[in-house]
Amino acid sequence: MKNNNNIILIGLMGAGKSSIGTQLADRLSMQFVDTDEFIEKKLGKTVNEIFEIDGEVFFRKLEAQILQEEDFMNHVIATGGGMPVFGDNMEQLNKLGTTIYLRISEDKLAERLWMVRKKRPLLRDIKSIKDLSSFLEQQLNIREKFYEKAHYVLNINDKASCEILEDLCIIVDKLKKTSH
Ligand code: S3P
């Protein structure tokens, strides 16, 4: 395990980074941080409001700032889906801890995100589940080369959250063994 002991979950929105991350942190008695929530608390605005009022570029600057300024130790970190894709964020994430890409198909994601799309600034104007799936496919085409720089890639397509949690614990166990 890297000496800062952080486990960092990356992947597209809807992959379950925050919910699985919270469970993983509980299980490992680590602290949990979600970068979207971190930004929301810092600014006192939702991510939706930041995109609307200040713009996406401003939001991306805040994401990069977290990586430059915050000194996380012993955290499970759930990142926003776009974080690894901008600037040298992916390299920074790989230095900040062990990165794990939660890989899931666009169709599975579209099913999960359709009912909650209004809460996501990049999805709220999409009109049909088919368009949502096409948009997510496009996003994956652009983003996967960044996500694949993660230390681990975990396929989660047909897995229940308890199985994903077990798989993550196996990875963490391996990391602990190899770091001694
Ligand atoms: C984004 C994903 C969101 C949030 C913002 C932009 C993206 O985070 O950071 O809406 O560009 O994919 P989640 O992946 O936690 O939904």
Q: How far apart are CA 23 and CA 168, in angstroms?
A: 10
Q: Which of 65, 66, 122, 126 most suits a substitution to test ligand 1, by most atoms within 8 Å of the C-beta? A: 122
pLDDT at 152: 97
Q: How far apart are CA 86 and CA 71, in angstroms?
A: 20
pLDDT at 142: 97
Residue 168 burial (10 A CB sphere; 0-12, 13-18, 19+): buried
pLDDT at 178: 85
Contacts of 134 (CB under 8 A, 6+ apart): 106
Q: Which residues pair with 34 in a beta bridge?
A: 78
pLDDT at 180: 61
Say yes or no: CB of residue 82 within 6 Å of ligand 1: yes
List C-alpha distances in Å: 172 to 28, 88, 104, 131, 148: 9, 25, 20, 37, 18
Q: How far apart are CA 50 and CA 43, in angstroms?
A: 9
**Nearest to residue 15, comparing CAs of 72, 74, 79, 95?**
79
Distance from the Cα of residue 172 to its chain's centroid: 17
pLDDT at 179: 76
Closest ligand 1 atom to residue 78 Cα is: 15
pLDDT at 24: 98
Sign of CA dihedral 88, 94, 96, 100: positive
Phi, psi of 108 (to 5 degrees): -60, -45
Say yes or no: CB of residue 122 within 6 Å of ligand 1: yes
Say yes or no: CB of residue 11 within 6 Å of ligand 1: no
- Residue 11 near residue 35 (C-beta atoms within 8 A): no
Return per-residue pLDDT of the chain as tens, 180 residues.
666 799 999 999 999 999 999 999 999 999 999 999 999 999 999 999 999 999 999 999 999 999 999 999 999 999 999 999 999 999 999 999 999 999 999 999 999 999 999 989 999 999 999 999 999 999 999 999 999 999 999 999 989 999 999 999 999 999 988 876
- Residue 36 near residue 43 (C-beta atoms within 8 A): no
Task: Give the alpha-carbon dihedral of 125, 129, 131, 137, to 10 degrees.
Answer: 110
Say yes or no: CB of residue 36 within 6 Å of ligand 1: yes
